Amino acid sequence: MIKTAVACALLVFAASSAPAETRPAVAVIPFQALGVSAAEAHGLALLFETELVKTGRFTVIEQSRMDAVLTAQEVSLSDCSDQVCAVEIGKLLAAEQIVLGAAGKIGQRYYLTVKLIDVENGASLSSENEQRSSLDEILDDLGSLAARLSAWDAAPPEMAYLDGGTHGMWDLRQRTDHPPVESQEEFVAWMLQHSPEEEKYLRAKWSRAQVTLQWKDIRNGRVLEAFLRTPRQEFARTRNVEVVYQHMVLDIGHGQTISGPHLVARMTDYLNPEPEDKVLEIGTGSGYQSAVLSELSNHVYTIEIVPELAAETDAIYRSLYARYPEYQNITGKADDGYYGWQEYAPFDRIIVTCGIDHIPPELLKQLKVNGVMLIPVGPPSGQTILKITKTLDAAGNVLLEREDIYGGRVKEVFAPFAARGGGVHSQPSDAAGASP
């Protein structure tokens, strides 16, 4: 995820099986959160440390002792905000378990997320408070967050992690629970037990899903489930149930919009990634499209050119980790997506969510053979959404098969493909006569 989106805390402690007098202690690194002052964050960390001690499972390692150990090893905590780094710090301190914590502010709402990680096997458990209107309200949640962590003594069965993963990703291949899709009442009842969503959103989402099926925006059962699992209201920057699932574009600030549910459903259905496919999204925006894709693929990469929007959306993902662990499989950055993401290339699937008058050559290079790209191509007045399939002929030459996902019936207007430094990307003048 984008490292600037939210600062993290590192807490290190050992399991509670040892007698109290010999129990390894918890070491709390004061954390800062997006939109929270250093003084407020430091106070929040100290109070959380107190709540951990109150559970009876943890004792505190003094800051001076921890600093001495890390200084001797020439280790700095200033850049340590991911799970791999935290585990290494835990080993240096001879801790059996660690906690990564993240505090953030989304709009006018605050949240706190903490993750307990076993140093030996990498198993983890996330816990968080509901979004609150003030830091004072978050203080009331600290005790319950600490209690949830103190009750954990093994990797929870519903949490699964990728072999060799670097930050404890959740593995879709081990999911065994699936919502019923034959009846609205059965679906709502199941989701109320298995998700944090409110009934009003579940019913609105179900109704919209039925229309996507009628219009053949969704034809694949896995895509239908992904649509039904994803809480659009968390990304739409509005929680108005009358608006969130309407067939309309919504403003999300920063000059950007969230596409309507039918468009997201159709593009996802044509992309249709498998769990081990690597997917690149150009234009993170609200985060909704990548959230849907994370229900289908363990490897979602997304690029947003507006840094403030990238940070805002990343904070939303982080605030939802405990309830939607699959969002940990989304890796993002703020950059110009025209050039793709060479570090993680090649990709099995690429989806572009901004309009352009040609297909960026670098994206084609980073698309695997037999890979699929979805991209809106055309003038600013309206684009054709093309499904591009990259293949090779018998002589090894690259072939591009094009398909209009609406069969010529519909053109959509996307936000323009913005360029780094201002302006938009357009077809080079020496290629103006070429077919897109």
Q: How far apart are CA 265 and CA 310, in angstroms?
A: 22
Q: How far apart are CA 117 and CA 100, in angstroms?
A: 8
Cross-sheet strand order for the sheet of 97-106: 59-60, 25-29, 8-13, 97-106, 109-118, 124-128
Axis crossing angle, helix 38-54 with helix 142-150, rounded to the nearest 10: 50
Which tokens is 77 given? 């905590």
Token pair 């150009």: residue: 282
pLDDT at 429: 56
pLDDT tens per residue, the chain (436 residues)?
443 333 344 444 444 444 444 554 556 665 655 566 767 767 777 788 788 888 887 776 677 777 788 888 887 665 555 566 677 777 887 777 777 777 766 667 787 777 777 777 766 677 777 778 888 888 888 888 888 878 766 444 333 333 333 334 578 888 888 999 999 999 999 999 999 899 999 999 999 999 999 999 999 999 999 999 999 999 998 878 889 999 999 999 888 989 999 999 999 999 999 999 999 999 999 999 999 999 999 999 999 999 899 988 988 888 888 788 899 899 999 999 999 999 899 999 999 999 999 999 999 999 999 999 999 999 999 999 999 999 999 998 999 999 999 999 999 999 999 999 889 998 875 444 444 5
Beta-bridge partners for 45: none
CB atoms within 10 A of CB 422: 6
Domain ranges for the chain, please list them: 8-156, 216-431
Please give the distance of CA 142 from its chain centroid, rounded to a whole number: 24
pLDDT at 162: 36
For 216-431, CATH gives: 3.40.50.150
Catalytic residue, candidates 259, 286, 290, 297 = 259
Q: How far apart are CA 249 and CA 261, in angstroms?
A: 9
First vs last C-alpha separation in the chain: 33
Fold of 8-156: Rossmann fold (3.40.50)
Q: How far apart are CA 311 and CA 262, in angstroms?
A: 26
To 10 degrees, the CA torsion angle through 229, 235, 237, 241?
A: -10
pLDDT at 215: 97
Question: Residue 183 catalytic?
Answer: no
Q: How far apart are CA 47 and CA 86, in angstroms?
A: 21
Are residues 380 and 356 in contact, defined by beta-carbon separation less than 8 angstroms?
A: no
Q: How far apart are CA 273 and CA 341, in angstroms?
A: 18
Q: How far apart are CA 316 and CA 294, in angstroms?
A: 14
Which residues does 423 contact at the CB level (< 8 Å), separation at least 6? Answer: none
